[in-house]
Amino acid sequence: MPRIRPQNVLAAQWTPNGGAIGAPDLTSPDNQVFGANVFSTAVQRQRLPKDIFRRLQQTLAHGGSLDISLADAVAQAMKAWALERGATHYTHWFQPLTGSTAEKHDSFWAPTGEGTALAEFSGKELIQGEPDASSFPTGGIRATFEARGYTAWDPTSPAFILENPNGAVLSIPTAFASWTGEALDHKIPLLRSMDALSKSAIRALRLFGDKASARVFTTVGAEQEYFLIDEQFYFERFDLVTTGRTLFGAKPPKGHELDDHYFGSIPERILACMLDTERELSKLGVPVKTRHNEVAPNQYEIAPVFENSNVGSDHQQLTMQVMQNVARRYGLVCLLHEKPFAGVNGSGKHNNWSMGTDTGNNLLDPGDTPHDNLQFLFFCAAVLQAVDKHQGLLRASVASAGQDHRLGANEAPPAIISVFLGSELERVFGAIERGEAGETTPGSFLGLGTPVLPPLPLHGGDRNRTSPFAFTGNKFEFRALGSSQSLSLPNTVLNTIVAEAIDALADELEKELGQGKDLEAALRPILQRSYAAHKQIIFAGDNYTPEWHAEAERRGLLNLRATPDALPYLVSEETVALFSNYSVLSERELHSRYEVFLEQYVTKLNIEAETAASIARTMLLPAAVRHRALLLEAQLPELTRELEDLITSFVESIKRLESANLADNQPHDDVLDHAMYMRDAVIPAMASVREDADRLEKVVADDIWPLPKYSEILFIK
């Protein structure tokens, strides 16, 4: 008898052939691969003429502009280095508004006209590229007949070499702007926001007597969740291939979850794939640090050591790319969708965020002197104030079709933005608010008199895993990002809103200090006011409960459930004023993002709806009909009737979805209206097709059901 599902057996038969990487002797310096494919500062020091290296470092430190002679020298060294490593092409690597990365490859080699070719790559090619921008979304910033876009070298994010079995490409991180100078990417606003925050923070630090720091960097470390599934199941599921998630699939039998629990041991094939991924990332200078199983079966997490926001965001894009590439070497597919399997925990990304000075101080580290603590409380209060004031914008910065299955649905964190401070810190702020703060005495925390508090524990047991925005000892963890998302926009938003809050508090502090008060006396009323005004954003309980939703509503906190509810906050009056004050995004640039994101939402849902209708009609309905014939032949009238009812309902659902899709193709005046139509008409229509299909899956003969089932995809490894 033939096997019913031979792919299950094949999927389980993994051997490390071909993909084996072996175990290099790490005591040998030649085997240390970290940064081997990066044009790092160390490589630059070694390869650039001394004075060029010094000038480049100076320019980078001060954020000045580069002159072309410098660029020529750097280009020459970069080219020689890349050619030695087998690179034949170079590319300006950038982040268009689609959220992924884009590249156009140019050969180093140009024909000389004498039948030979010469490697060419000058400062001009390094500094600027001119890709045809017409195929990247711009939200109306540039009509397609003016399809000129410019990429500009970002010397603060190191160039790297991407290897391929058949060659290598020098990748140069770049910014992408329209010919009118507007940002068409995610990098430019991120860089601008880092500048804005640095200015505000340095200004505040001066008030605290810090004269040494010249720049403040925001830092980011992302914990990335993902699924790895066998590629055979993936390629048999048209929905996974085209939409990244399963549009059908009945829940597997209960109890299976226990099979592969959180922090459990990692299966051999998965670990082999992870090790290889980490090795590749290591070559690219991405400092990967931790890996473990996540809650759902076949779900894992990878996290790097934090870096400055710009490099960290670039590295995060690279991480996602490398994870997907390497998985294929192991017969696996890496799923980055926020909700690949309904009813199974989805994937998010935790964005750990802090601010640090160029002299090495983390501004969100409580520190162990009263002075350090005061400074810490100031910056901490600024974050609270910023998050409270701009809840809607933060929520908008993580909005997408995939995210709507998590935020505001039945999965954490909720769409309501709130902050978890931890009980010690909450007590400190509470005491300040009530005016219980006394003079500094030795041994007391912050001179708060009573209660005498111990230093804040860095990794205390006091954690709250349900909070969307949690203080975790020396950083805040924004936990509401989607797994496939670029870090750039949420961090751009964080940096900008916090810059504004720091300035607001620094204005007040300047005034108080101007009246001759000492730092502690000056700061106390400011913290008191700010905390009292913004403590509504603080919540320490379980964010998943209906009680919290009711409480949040009483407090007047925003609960923006779906993408079309959230995105308008990108272009609200407050956001426009904030972003133009800090020169991070102009009104036009904000509107272009708003439109691009809405369009992406509509397009993704449209593709999902069409895929669902097509699978339902051409794969699932025929299977149900075949099963009916079997039942008829076997003369099982009761089962036949039961199935016929299901089929009738299924056919009706399919027709409703198809007509919702047809109506969707009618022109909509406004892209927001269109998005709301998708939310209100198309999504429910898809859901009811799915509901019927999932019921059919449970009754139709297994050997004629055309899609691999959850119990196979999630548990065979």
Decide if 86 contacts 168 (C-beta within 8 A): yes
Q: Which residues contact 356 (CB under 8 A, 6 or more apart)?
A: 216, 217, 218, 219, 362, 363
Rounded distance between C-alpha atoms, residue 157 and residue 308, angstroms: 10
For the CB of residue 305, give the shortest distance to ligand ADP in the complex, in Å: 5
Q: Segment 318-377, which members bind Mg ion (CB under 5 A)?
A: 350
Q: How far is the CB of 364 from Mg ion (least distance, A)?
A: 15
The tokens describing 604, both together, are: 């993704």
* Interaction between residue 420 and ligand ADP (CB under 6 A): no
CB within 8 Å of 360: residues ≥ 6 apart = none
Query: Counting contacts by CB under 6 A, is residue 219 touching ligand ADP?
Result: yes
C-alpha distance from residue 273 to each of 66, 230, 233 (Å):
41, 12, 18
Query: Nearest distance from residue 461's CB to Mg ion, in Å?
Result: 15
**Unique residue bearing structure tokens 């500009």:** 152
Q: Give the largest Cα separation in the chain, rounded.
A: 96
Of residues 44, 46, 79, 81, the one with CA closest to residue 60: 44
379 or 601: whose CB is closer to ligand ADP?
379
Q: How far is the CB of 417 from ligand ADP (least distance, A)?
A: 18
Cβ atoms of 90 and 82 closer than 8 Å: yes
Kindly report the three-state secondary structure assignment for every residue of 470-485. Answer: EECCCCEEEEEEECCC
Shorter beta-carbon distance to Mg ion: residue 470 or 538: 470
* Residues 258-287 as b or e (16 or more Cβ within 10 Å = b): eebeeeeebeebbebbbebbbbbbbbbbbb
- Quote the least distance from Cβ 112 to Mg ion, whole Å: 55
Query: Rounded to whole angstroms, how far apart are CA atoms 536 and 418?
Result: 8
223 lies in the binding site for Mg ion (CB under 5 A): yes
Which CB, 233 or 306, lies closer to Mg ion? Answer: 306
Which residue among 96, 221, 346, 564 contacts ligand ADP (CB under 6 A)? 221
Q: Which region, judged by CB under 5 A, interacts with Mg ion, from 190-198, 218-226, 394-402, 646-654?
A: 218-226
User: Are 479 and 350 contacting, i.e. CB atoms less than 8 angstroms apart?
Assistant: yes
Shortest CB 176 distance to ligand ADP, Å = 26
Stretch that binds ligand ADP, among 121-129, 351-359, 563-571, 704-712 (CB under 6 A): 351-359
Using DSSP's 3-state secondary structure scheme, residue 710 falls into helix
Q: Decide whether 222 or 501 has the Cβ nearer to Mg ion.
A: 222
Read off the DSSP letter of residue 262: T
Alpha helices in 515-569, H assignment, sequence order: 519-534, 546-555, 563-566
Q: How far from the centroid of its chain's Cα atoms is residue 598's Cα?
A: 18
Pick out residues in 359-398 that bind ligand ADP (CB under 6 A).
362
Q: Which is nearer to ligand ADP, 222 or 675 (CB)?
A: 222
Shortest approach of ligand ADP to residue 584 CB, angstroms?
20
Residue range at the interface with ligand ADP (CB under 6 A); choices 35-43, 85-93, 115-123, 350-358:
350-358
Q: Which stretch binds ligand ADP (CB under 6 A): 168-176, 218-226, 499-507, 585-593?
A: 218-226
Compute the least distance from the CB of residue 260 to ligand ADP, in Å.
18
Query: Which is nearer to ligand ADP, 288 or 585 (by Cβ)?
Result: 288
Alpha helices, H only, 208-308: 231-235, 238-243, 268-283
Query: Of these partners, Mg ion, ligand ADP, none, which one is at the site of residue 512 (CB under 5 to 8 Å by kind)?
Result: none
Name the nearest CA neighbour of 693 among 707, 682, 673, 672. 707
Considering only 91, 200, 298, 354, the residue that binds ligand ADP (CB under 6 A) is 354
Q: Which is nearer to ligand ADP, 362 or 688 (CB)?
A: 362
Least separation in angstroms between CB 472 and ligand ADP: 6
Nearest approach in angstroms of CB 461 to ligand ADP is: 12
CA–CA separation, 76 and 45 (whole Å): 14
Instruction: Count interface residues toward Mg ion (CB under 5 A).
Output: 2
* Residue with the CB atom nearest Mg ion in the bound state: 350
Rounded CA-CA distance 280/283 in Å is 5
In the three-class reduction of DSSP (H, G, I as helix; E, B as strand; rest coil), residue 206 is classed as helix
Only segment of 74-82, 190-198, 216-224, 562-570 that touches Mg ion (CB under 5 A): 216-224
What's the closest the beta carbon of residue 304 comes to ligand ADP, in angstroms?
A: 6
Assigned token pair, 386: 């910023």
Nearest partner of 593 among 310, 184, 196, judged by Cα: 184
Measured distance CA(286)–CA(704) in Å, rounded? 46
Do β-strands 117-119 and 128-129 pair in parallel, antiparallel, or remain unpaired?
unpaired
Distance between terminal CA atoms of the chain? 24
CB of 407 to Mg ion, least distance (A): 16
CB of 477 to Mg ion, least distance (A): 5
Size of the site for ligand ADP (CB under 6 A): 17
For residues 463 and 591, which CB has a smaller minimum distance to Mg ion in the complex?
463
Q: Contact between 500 and Mg ion (CB under 5 A)?
A: no
CB of residue 348 to ligand ADP, shortest distance in Å: 12
- Exactly one of 153, 176, 353, 710 binds ligand ADP (CB under 6 A); which one? 353
Q: How far is CA 372 from CA 162, 203, 385, 531, 651, in A?
A: 43, 16, 20, 19, 67
Rule CB under 6 A: is residue 220 a binding residue for ligand ADP? yes
Instruction: Calculate the alpha carbon distances from 483 to 334, 349, 478 in Å.
Output: 11, 5, 13
CB of 5 to ligand ADP, least distance (A): 37
In a 3-state reduction of DSSP, which class is residue 349? strand
C-beta closer to ligand ADP: residue 17 or 265:
265
Report 467-486 residues binding ligand ADP (CB under 6 A).
Answer: 474-475, 477
Q: Which is nearer to Mg ion, 237 or 350 (CB)?
A: 350
Identity of the residue, 129 or 468, whose beta carbon is nearer to Mg ion in the bound complex: 468
**CA pair distance 467, 295, nearest whole angstrom:** 17
Q: Which is nearer to ligand ADP, 76 or 352 (CB)?
A: 352
Among 306, 429, 531, 710, contact with ligand ADP (rule: CB under 6 A): 306
Q: Does 290 bind ligand ADP (CB under 6 A)?
A: yes
* Contact between 301 and Mg ion per CB under 5 A: no
In the complex, what is the shortest distance from the CB of residue 469 to ligand ADP, in angstroms, rounded to a whole number?
13
Closest to ligand ADP by CB, 169 or 394: 394
Of 305, 541, 300, give the one whose Cα is nearest residue 412.
Answer: 541
* Contact stretch for ligand ADP (CB under 6 A) within 55-63, 300-308, 414-422, 577-585: 300-308
d(CA 484, CA 227) in angstroms, rounded, equals: 11
297 binds, among Mg ion, ligand ADP, none (CB under 5 to 8 A by kind): none
**Site for ligand ADP contains 299 (CB under 6 A):** no
Considering the complex, state which of residue 223 and residue 276 has its C-beta at the smaller distance from Mg ion: 223
Q: Specify the amino acid at residue 514.
A: G
User: If DSSP codes are grouped into helix, strand and coil, which group holds residue 168?
Assistant: strand
State the angle between helix axes of 309-329 and 268-283 in degrees (0 to 180), rounded to the nearest 10.
Answer: 140
Shortest Cβ contact with ligand ADP: which residue? 221
Q: Is 223 in the site for ligand ADP (CB under 6 A)?
A: yes
Q: Point out which residues bind ligand ADP (CB under 6 A).
A: 219-221, 223, 290, 303-306, 350, 352-354, 362, 474-475, 477
Q: Point out which residues bind Mg ion (CB under 5 A).
A: 223, 350
